[in-house]
Structure formats: C-alpha cells, structure tokens
Amino acid sequence: MNLAANLVTAFVAVCHLSFLVLEMFFWNHPVGWKIFAMTPEVAASSAVLAANQGLYNGFLAAGLAWGLWAGRRDIKLFFLGCVVVAGLFGAMTANMTVLFTQALPGAIALTLVLLASRGKNGGNALSARTP
C-alpha cells in the first residue's frame, strides 16, 4: 500500500510540475491558448497572474517531492491537503475540470497515504515517520 501511495503522490507532484511549466512558460503561446481555450489577447492580459499561479503549483510539487524524499507522511499529508483544497477552489471559481485534474488525484493520493499508515505507529495515521 505504501508503494501505491508514493506512486500516486509522485504522479500528483509531476502533474503540478507540468502545471508550472504550462502556466509560467506556455500560457502566452499557441500551446497554452489551445489547452486553456484562450485567445491571444486573453492570454496576454492574464500572463502575469498565470505565472504566479504556476509558481504556486511549483511549490506544491516541491513540497510533495520533499515529503517523498524524506519519507515523511506529515509533509505528504499537508501538501496533498493543499492540492485538494486548491483543486476544489479552482473547480468552484475557474473551471470544473480542475476537480478532475487536480482535486481528484490529490484526494486519491491523500487517501492512499492515510491507508498506508493505518495500523502503523499504534494506529496513528498522522504520525511523522514510517517505522
């Protein structure tokens, strides 16, 4: 179960790294226009906001990578929780597809991390380290 949790968490981290690339480097580019269904004018006027959003996605990816590298459940849980909240907010305010591209994978990873820790450390699923 721990392997599955780590693989899905790594997938979420890679997704957020790809969001960073799209939002910071391809927003105002034909690739970004097509992916985000924007006109060049809309892309140009929102490019600074998109770059900022991309940077935040990079922080999420870095936090998840840190949690994986350190083997720290608490770090993974914190950043996966942030991913889920950001995905839910994005689905409510920007586009419903964010629910499926960001919140759902984050929620699956979060659930797997919690299930992988079940029964370890006296049943405390939120403890910091895996024995």
Mean pLDDT by 10 residues, the chain (131 residues): 96 98 96 94 96 97 98 98 97 94 97 86 49 42
Query: In the chain, what are the domain boundaries?
Result: 2-118
- DSSP H helices, the chain, are 2-25, 30-35, 40-70, 73-93, 97-98, 104-117
Instruction: Give the pLDDT confidence score for residue 117 in this predicted structure.
Output: 83
Buried b (16+ CB within 10 A) or exposed e, 17-51: bebbebbbebbbeeebbeebebeeeebeeebeebe
Instruction: Give the pLDDT confidence score for residue 4 in this predicted structure.
Output: 96
Instruction: Give the pLDDT confidence score for residue 105 in this predicted structure.
Output: 98
